[in-house]
Amino acid sequence: MKCPYCDYQDSKVIDSRGMSEGVRRRRQCLHCHSRFTTYERVQSGTFLVIKKDSRREEFSRDKLVTGIRKACTKRPISNDDIEQLVDRVEGELHHLGKIEVPSPTIGELVMKHLKELDRIAYMRFASVYREFTDVDSFRLEIDALVKGQEKAVSAQLPLIPQEGFIASARSARKARKRELGTRR
């Protein structure tokens, strides 16, 4: 493996860790002793991306990582988190089983996973991907994001049950006990 710092051709592996889609290796250059990380993954069949102007271009994982990294700038998101997100997106794209995938499909998958990872990074990505031209379009997306969060929170059970919930649970238990007692 060529050193990215001094271009020396040889390095040694210091640490290897398995990931969901490959292996992460920490390496050290035998010449300058600098350390760097490489990622190895099985190269699956490539597919073409259909751009908005109908051009076709080979899918580039690096291009996807770069776009997501820009959205995640100055956010508490590790490179491993970004790699895992890209692994999930790429996996879903391969599961589609298509040779050609429209770029909006890729963008929507990225947004779905970014929304789960970090809402600020999601908004940054959405502002570029959806080409927001004014504050109103940005506000509409934020409102939709907040409403989605409110729905998710309201669908959850309370962490500390309310008094009425406890009383109804007790009465349900008592009714079950009475019902079991009358069956015997």
Q: Which two tokens stand for residue 77?
A: 């998101």
Judge if 21 and 102 occupy the same domain.
no
Confidence of residue 138 (pLDDT cuts 50, 70, 90): confident
Over the stretch 145-163, which tens digit does the pLDDT of each residue have?
888 766 554 555 555 555 5
Which residues have C-beta within 8 Å of that of residue 62, sequence separation ≥ 6?
Answer: none
Judge if 57 and 125 occupy the same domain.
yes
Q: What is the pLDDT, as a whole number, of residue 173?
A: 64
Judge if 38 and 51 occupy the same domain.
no
Confidence of residue 41 (pLDDT cuts 50, 70, 90): confident
Judge if 49 and 85 occupy the same domain.
yes
- Dist. CA 39–CA 20, nearest whole Å: 12
Judge if 37 and 65 occupy the same domain.
no
Question: Looking at the domain assignment, is residue 182 inside a domain?
Answer: no
Instruction: Find out whether 145 and 115 touch, Cβ atoms under 8 Å.
Output: yes
pLDDT of residue 25 exceeding 60, the answer is yes
Question: Looking at the domain assignment, is residue 173 inside a domain?
Answer: no
Question: Looking at the domain assignment, is residue 178 inside a domain?
Answer: no
Q: What is the pLDDT, as a whole number, of residue 59?
A: 93
What interhelical angle do 61-71 and 79-96 show, nearest 10?
130
Question: Looking at the domain assignment, is residue 27 inside a domain?
Answer: yes
Judge if 36 and 82 occupy the same domain.
no
Which of 32-41, 50-59, 135-144, 172-181 is predicted with the least confidence, judged by mean pLDDT?
Answer: 172-181
Judge if 80 and 24 occupy the same domain.
no
How many residues are listed for the chain in this entry?
184
Question: Looking at the domain assignment, is residue 70 inside a domain?
Answer: yes
pLDDT of residue 114 exceeding 60, the answer is yes
Question: Looking at the domain assignment, is residue 174 inside a domain?
Answer: no
- Dist. CA 93–CA 99, nearest whole Å: 10
Judge if 76 and 144 occupy the same domain.
yes
| pTM exceeds 0.85 | no
Question: Looking at the domain assignment, is residue 90 inside a domain?
Answer: yes
pLDDT of residue 130 exceeding 90, the answer is no
Judge if 34 and 55 occupy the same domain.
no
Judge if 105 and 137 occupy the same domain.
yes
Q: From its phi and psi, is residue 54 left (phi > 0), alpha (psi between -120 and 50) or beta?
A: left
Judge if 69 and 24 occupy the same domain.
no
Judge if 62 and 101 occupy the same domain.
yes
Question: Looking at the domain assignment, is residue 125 inside a domain?
Answer: yes
| Mean pLDDT within 126-130 | 89
117 or 19, which is more confident: 117
Average pLDDT, the chain: 84
Over the stretch 55-95, which tens digit does the pLDDT of each residue have?
999 999 999 999 999 999 999 999 999 999 999 999 899 88
Range of the structural domain that residue 37 is part of: 11-42
Counted domains in the chain: 2
In 10 A of CB 111, how many CB atoms?
Answer: 20
